[in-house]
Every structure is written in structure tokens, then in C-alpha cells.
Amino acid sequence: MSGTTIPIIPAKATTAIEGDGMGCHAGGETLLAAAKSAGKSEILAQYAADYPKRENAGPHDQPQSMCPAFGSLRVGLRMRRTATILSGSACCVYGLTFTSHFYGARRSVGYVPFNSESLVTGKLFEDISEAVHAQADPEKLDAIVIINLCVPTASGVPLQILPKAINGVRIIGIDVPGFGVPTHAEAKDVLTGAMLKYARSEIMAGPVPAPRQARSDKPTITLLGEMFPADPMLIAQMIAPMGLAVGTVAPTREWRELYTALDSVAVAAIHPFYTASIREFEAAGRAIVGSAPVGVDGTHDWLGAIGQATGVAQAQIDAARNATLAAIRGVLSQQKINGRITLSGYEGSELLVGRLLVECGADLRYVGSACPATPWNAHDAAWLKSKGVQVQFRASLENDLDAMREYRPQLAIGTTPVVQAAKEASIPSLYYTNLISARPLMGVAGAGSLIQVINAAMGNQHRFDQMKDFFGSVGNGDKAGVWEDVPKDFPDFRKEQRRQLDKQAKKRKAEEMGS
């Protein structure tokens, strides 16, 4: 055997639909190509149109958000009498289930497991169909949501051929792949839009169940986007002088609320990325109004836009403005934000918060949103830019960190990694989702609440300075980790490594000039 050469045979590359269920690691381009060849071209083309990616973004063409499917999962789990079933790799389902319970889900998440055989033979679809039929109990459920994650989508699992209803329980099958839906915020729209489309078809077919609560005797405005629970009530107070009322907030908490959402005179796109949902509202003949009543300018413009969209007389619009704007000016005159701020997030309301910060006196330099530019946030973006604020749609983590380093803020508001980087640099910071998004933004309450939390955070600079002075450079660079002894420097080794790196750099430069 000593003279025998062992043959080297290249291993067959695992495709997106093969292996042990780990095909999601094949990469976005491979999965996208597989999905298109498996019959998902139409839905992926619609996603590309609804949720456009950033052009010329290089390696960071998609913002770093949590798994997009979490958005659809969240919408379903918050609805009464609605069950949600996931179809995807076990690791993905585990992570999504964990996250959903971390955010307070109080019900189980269904799961249809698969292996390479059931995936490629079509048995997975049969398993999904069996699970749906087993769960379809009209005494307990109004709807069942089935969500294809990356691998089943790439494999072409055809949820669209499931029955539209079983025993009177509506069946909503959607594909929410990470390679087709950029952010979890937009995935909320995928499910909300699908439900609105289904509900609109029911309305067109005949009478539908009435809402639990009595309908308002005033024309109603549907609010589009998840928001702090007090905000709809604050908006209702602002539009009352115009003879209008707030109807339903979509995503809804119950199926029959979808009917009342469609039965409004106008829709306020508080969160502007619900493209599929807006398509259904427009098909129902509803006017769409962008932006939101934040700050003085924002409230003034938004009340005017709502009034015009609903045919309200100018005198009523003026009355609504007078009742609200004076109170907001009063709050802003009593307290201010004094400091430089950078702001970023992936919830879709970042531009609204940015507007409010500017009106509160903040020196806001940068607003980054993982969501895209749409016709319904164009007014907010133009307003911010007119105030000298850099606005970045489809912002990546790298964009947000670069802005923080460039503008050197006294407070950084952002996602978890941005907050971490800021604290490492001794910059006070706030996590956008839990500390900014989870508080009122509209009207008087929004201004007062935001000023308080921002000023409190910036007031902690001395604590960061004390910690920095105490710990010094401990735990940074090559001193990070766990050591039994005090780390020692090796200057000769460092010098030699630097020499080698410089030599390599000169060689690459010479090769580039020679080519």
C-alpha cells in the first residue's frame, strides 16, 4: 500500500433542497435560484417589487435584522383564534419560537418537521396538509397561518394549493424566506396583506360578521402599523374636532377586525412599509395618508392631509390643529433636548422619531432605517433632509456604525450591536426597539415622553467616563478573554508581524501597478 495513491474525488455540492435540513446555509443566491426554478418566481417577483433592496450596496445589500419570518409569526401570534404553523429547518424554528416567547407569545407554535426525503418527494406538503386538517377546529379557530421558511420556499413547497378553508377555518399559506423578504418589519406586511386580501374577497362575496365592539357613528380612519397602545387613543383625540374617529389598527388582533379596517374612509400609513396591505386598501377604494402626527410640523401637516383625504371642511381642520398644536408647543417650550444624536433601527418608525427629536431641540445628525423608501415616508425624509439630517434607507449595521464614528454623538440610539459598540466607546446609548419604539410618539404625550428618556440617558455620560477610567484597556484587543496570568506584550513579535504585513502590502501594490 505504500506505493498506492489515494484518489481524490470531489464531493458533490449539497443543494438547497438536499442534505440534512441545513440547506439554508447554501446562501441567498443559491436559495433564490432554487426557489425560482421550483415555481416560486411569481411570488419572489412580487416581493422584489414590494420590498426593493438597496441598489449598489456591495456585500451589504440586505440590512442585518432578526429572521424576517419573525414579523409574520408575531402578527399571527397576536391574533385571537388564530393558529400558526411553521415549515422550515429545525434550527430556524427553534430560534423563531424562542424569540416569539421572549416577546410574550402566550400560545404554542406549530411545526411540521422534514428531512431530505420528505422534502424532495413531496411528502412534506402532505404532512403540512395533514397538520392543517387536524388543527382546523371552527370552535377554536378562525384561521390557520402556514409559513414556509427558507428551505421549503426554495424547494417549491406549494402552500397556495392548500384548501382556502377547512371546516370553516380559513387557511393562509405564505412564503417568508430570508432571501426574499429583507426585514422582519416587512414580513408583518406579508401576512397582514394576505389576510386583508382574503377578508376583502369575503366582503365582496356577501355579508360578514360584525365587530365585537359597536361601530362608531363617525367616519373612521384605519391606522396601519404596530404602535404603542396609547397612540391610537391620542390620535383619536386629535381628529375628533374633524368629526372623525379611529377605527381599527392593522395588523389586527382578531379576524373580524379586518372587515372594519377595510370599512374606513382613509388609511393612515403610520408605518410606511406595508406595501401589500396598502395595495388591498387601495383596491377597496381607500385613500392612503403617509407620515404621522409627531411634533408641531408633523401634526400640522398630517391633520391637514387627513382632512383633505376625507373631505373635511377647512374650518374643522383648523379647529383640530388649534386644539393640539398649542399643547405640543407648550411642552416643547418647557423642556428641550440639548445634545448630538444618531438614530437607527429596523422597526420602520425611525423617521417619525427623528422628526420628533429635531423638534425637541436635538442636534440629530443621522437617521438610519432598515426599511425602504416609499411614497408614504417621502415627506418625512424630505423634512429631515431640509434640517440637515442624513437619512439612510436600507441601512446596514456598517452604515450605522460609520455614522456613529463620523458624528461622535452624545447619545446613540440603535439596534443591539450599535448600542454595544457605543457603550464600548463610552457613548451613552439606547436600544431603539425596547426603549424608544415602546413608548408614545404622537401628540403631546410623544414629545414629553421622548424628551425625558433622552435627557436621562445623556445625563449618564459621567458614569461611562468613570468606568472607562477605572477599567482602562482591560479586555480590549489581544487582552480580551480569560487569562490565568497578566497578559504580556511581545514587542519583537509585533514588530516582525508588522514587517511581514508591510511586505505583503508592497507586493500587492507592485502587482496591481504591473497589471
Rounded to whole angstroms, the Cα distance separating 32 from 182 reads: 13
Which has more confidence, 58 or 260?
A: 260
- The more confidently predicted of residues 480 and 148 is 148
pLDDT tens profile 416-442? 999 999 998 999 999 998 889 888 999
Please state, in angstroms and rounded to a whole number, the distance separating the CA atoms of residues 84 and 360.
42
Q: What is the pLDDT of residue 83?
A: 96
Phi-psi region of 4 (alpha: psi -120 to 50; beta: other; left: phi over 0): beta
For residue 5, is pLDDT > 70? no
Which of the two residues, 21 and 297, has the higher pLDDT score?
297
Task: Please write the tens of the pLDDT for every residue from 313-363.
Answer: 999 999 999 999 999 999 988 889 999 999 999 999 999 999 999 999 999
pLDDT at residue 6 greater than cutoff 70: no
Cα angle: 293, vertex 343, 289; to 5 degrees: 25
Convert the pLDDT of each residue in 196-244 to its tens digit: 999 999 999 998 888 887 778 899 999 999 989 999 999 999 999 999 9
Given this model, what pLDDT does residue 1 score? 44
Low-confidence winner among 441-445, 475-479, 481-485 (lowest mean pLDDT): 475-479
State residue 492's pLDDT score. 83
Q: Is 286 a residue whose pLDDT tops 90?
A: yes
Pull the grid cell for residue 48. 422584489
Across the chain, how many H-helices and E-strands are there?
Answer: 20, 14
Question: Which three three-digit cell numbers place residue 317?
Answer: 381642520
Range with top average pLDDT, 2-6, 77-81, 477-481: 77-81
> What residues does 175 pair with on adjacent strands?
148
- Where residue 309 falls among pLDDT bands split at 50, 70, 90? very high
53: number of Cβ within 10 Å: 12
pTM of the model: 0.86
Instruction: Examine the pLDDT at 296 and tell me if it is beyond 70.
Output: yes
Cell digits for 153?
420556499
What average pLDDT does the segment 116-139 reach? 91
Question: pLDDT value at position 232?
Answer: 95
**pLDDT band per the 50, 70, 90 thresholds, residue 17:** very low
Tell me, letter by letter, the H, E, C secondary structure of 228-261.
CCHHHHHHHHHHHHHCCEEEEEECCCCCCHHHHH
Q: Which amino acid is at 207?
A: P
pLDDT in tens, 490-499: 788 888 888 9
Q: Say what the pLDDT of residue 26 is.
A: 57
Rounded to the nearest 10 degrees, how much is the dihedral formed by the CA atoms of 236, 240, 243, 245? 10
Residues 6+ apart with CB under 8 A from 291: 298, 301, 302, 305, 352, 376, 377, 379, 380
Q: What is residue 495's predicted lDDT score, i.e. its pLDDT?
A: 86
What percentage of the chain exceeds 90 in pLDDT?
62
* pLDDT given for residue 486 in this prediction: 75
Q: For a pLDDT cut of 70, what percent of the chain falls above it?
A: 92
For residue 251, cis peptide bond before it (omega within 30 degrees of 0)? yes
The confidence score (pLDDT) of residue 22 equals 43
pLDDT at residue 155 in the model: 87
Q: Give the pLDDT confidence of 155-188 residue by residue, as tens digits.
A: 889 999 999 999 999 999 999 998 889 999 999 9
Q: What is the pLDDT of residues 255-275, one digit of tens each?
A: 999 999 999 999 999 999 999
